[in-house]
Amino acid sequence: MQDARTLFDTLNTEYLTVHKTKEDLFWDTYMAVSNDDAGFARAEEAYKNFISDPQRLASVRAALDSLPASDADAAMAELRHGLKGWLALFESNIIDSDEAREHMHALIALEADLFAKRRDLVLHHTNEAGAQEETTLSGLATNMGTNRNEAARKSSHDALLGLEHWVLANGFLDIVKKRNAFARAQGFDNYFDYKVEKNEQMTSDYLFGILDDFEARTRDANTRALQALVEAHGAEATQPWNLRFYISGDVTRQVDPYLSFAKGLERWVKSFRHLGIAYRGATLQLDLLERTGKYQNGFCHGPIPTYFDARQRWVKGQINFTANAKPDQIGSGARAINTLFHEGGHAAHFANVTQNAPCFSQEFAPTSMAYAETQSMFCDSLLDDADWLKRYAHNAQGEPIPDALIQARIQTTQPFAAFAERGILVVPYFERALYRLPDEQLTAETVLALARAMELRILGVAVGPRPLLSIPHLLNQESAAAYQGYLLANMAVYQTRAYFEKTYGYLTDNPAIGPALAEHYWARGNSISHNDTLVSLTGEPFNAKYLADRCNRTVEQAWATAQAAITAAAQRTYPPAPAPDLDATIRIVHGAELIADNTASDEAMCQQFEGWVAQRYPATAAQ
């Protein structure tokens, strides 16, 4: 018993050290605060070695075997539970052979080299003013969605196509080959099959049973939307640089004054507080603006996972998340608030795992990506709700967004709900086919042709508005071959939303939501399956029907739902202000610079942030 307890406590403390070391270096290198790529690679390898150590796995199995067959008391039950958590982590990450470990060592080096080169790569496009400028992936997407000049929009898409060629010429194909070799050394046919089984505990055939069903359910809606777009705007509307604009460009521009970047932080804080979401004393660090060399995709990572230690002391989380906003660009406010809700949802999840070991509260296997993304995507789904927009989307004069603009937003976006979800769906279809290619066929020409074929098949257009090989997730080992998690998560999101709507009648500023999510989805972390969390809250197993039904709604049905929500919200009595605080220490940074914090109060932090943005970007001050 004592040996098992000693092993368990040692694993908890040693993991915390190696995980925090890796995550601190991850943040500094990805935020371009440090260029210690070699140091990060060493820390990454140390972490990988820890979670894939066969000796630790053997020790955990022996410790569990040493325990009595039944639990004499709560302490014994807790120890068994914690050791099973470590068993699941090691079994999910174990590398059984020397050959596979050699492949992993080489793979980490290859990916570190590609990351360093990608960080130094500068992308350019033509901006709103008609000038050439340096930009980020976020900036390219926003420009394609809002810039009224077609040539400028095309410059953004050309930059993405150029990035595809750059990726293929700078080591990605070697990484694909090495990932496959690593998977084969562990008995899998390819890396995609390996990742699906490790991340989601399902075979790729089972996964594609779900994905094929969703593809069939949404195929006709996608085809109708593209045909209607051509009828309304001509064949040029489906050119990849035009799609985002014709789907939402003018409406995004009209909504922009109601969703200013500077007010995003305040709206996130207030909305989460009114939902009853709290962070159990965690420290949150947010880096929200674009910067040369900074990683060009939002993420949330937690250097300190939460848990109760051996003396039942609460170990508070330390959590970092990031966005790439350009405050003076049309649409940046909407993208920023989306990132705050999305990554803030991740942070809320990982700050509220209340188990007895840090292995239960981290974003890597055995944590299902679909489970993790359900938490973040549920939160950002609220931003599309008409009652949320009426309560929070106000212009500089304090006027709420007009109903007519909400209706216009629905008229442009609802027909393309299926296209949006299929924009996620196309990635696993491509990655599965990519990793099934034999090494001799892994050429730039073959892979580009495969990408275009998958975009045509799933999206219905010759080239996607976001070309597949420009997606950063494909380059990183943790997120590669895992993108399907976003679609599985969105299926769970709309199942969850349906439960809350049925139970309470509304979601926006409902103070019952945070505690319900904490109890049913967050507290147990990865100690139960994604499906079991859904059953715990909603009473039914995983069901993709709710998302498919949402994609297939007509504009009239969506607008009727929005009108009903606006009317009900106007008549509803909400709990009086002030709402409980977030129970978090929050730091807003720009690289190494501290912009604002909530040492005095959340309100003071938001004012500091607004002032900093107004000073740095004076053109936005009037919004």
The 10s digit of each residue's pLDDT in 89-125 is: 999 888 878 999 999 999 999 999 999 999 999 999 9
pLDDT at 618: 87
Is the distance from CB of 296 to CB of 324 less than 8 angstroms?
yes
What is the bridge-based pairing of β-strands 584-590 and 282-289? parallel
What's the pLDDT tens digit per position in 130-156? 999 999 998 999 999 999 999 999 999
pLDDT at 161: 98
Express as a percent the part of the chain with pLDDT over 90: 87
Residue 288 is which amino acid? L
Instruction: Find out whether the peptide bond into 465 is cis, omega within 30 degrees of 0.
Output: no
Q: Starting at the edge strand that comes first in sequence, how are the strands of the sheet with 318-325 ordered?
A: 299-304, 318-325, 282-289, 584-590, 593-597
Instruction: Find out whether the peptide bond into 366 is cis, omega within 30 degrees of 0.
Output: yes
Q: What are the respective helix, strand and coil percentages of the chain, to the nearest 5?
A: 65, 10, 25
Residue 287 has phi, psi (to 5 degrees) of -120, 105
Express as a percent the part of the chain with pLDDT over 70: 99
CATH architecture of 188-620: Orthogonal Bundle (1.10)
Report the helix count and the strand count for the chain, using DSSP H and E.
25, 9
Q: What would you report as the CA-atom Rg of the chain, rounded to the nearest whole angstrom?
A: 24
**Residue 44 is inside which H or E element, if any?**
helix 37-51
The conformation of residue 117, written as its DSSP 8-state character, comes to: H
Task: Give the confidence band of 7 by pLDDT, cuts at 50, 70, 90.
Answer: very high
What is the average pLDDT across 369-374? Answer: 95
**Residue 315 is inside which H or E element, if any?**
strand 314-315
Helix (H, G, I), strand (E, B) or coil at 32: coil
**Residue 299 is inside which H or E element, if any?**
strand 299-304
The conformation of residue 383, written as its DSSP 8-state character, comes to: G
The token pair that represents 426 in the structure block:
């196309």
Is the distance from CB of 356 to CB of 323 less than 8 angstroms?
no
Does 623 have pLDDT greater than 60?
no
For the chain, which residues make up each domain, given as ranges? 2-94, 188-620
pLDDT at 329: 86
Q: What do you get for the CA distance between the two ends of the chain, in Å? A: 63
Helix (H, G, I), strand (E, B) or coil at 319: strand
Is the distance from CB of 275 to CB of 514 less than 8 angstroms?
yes
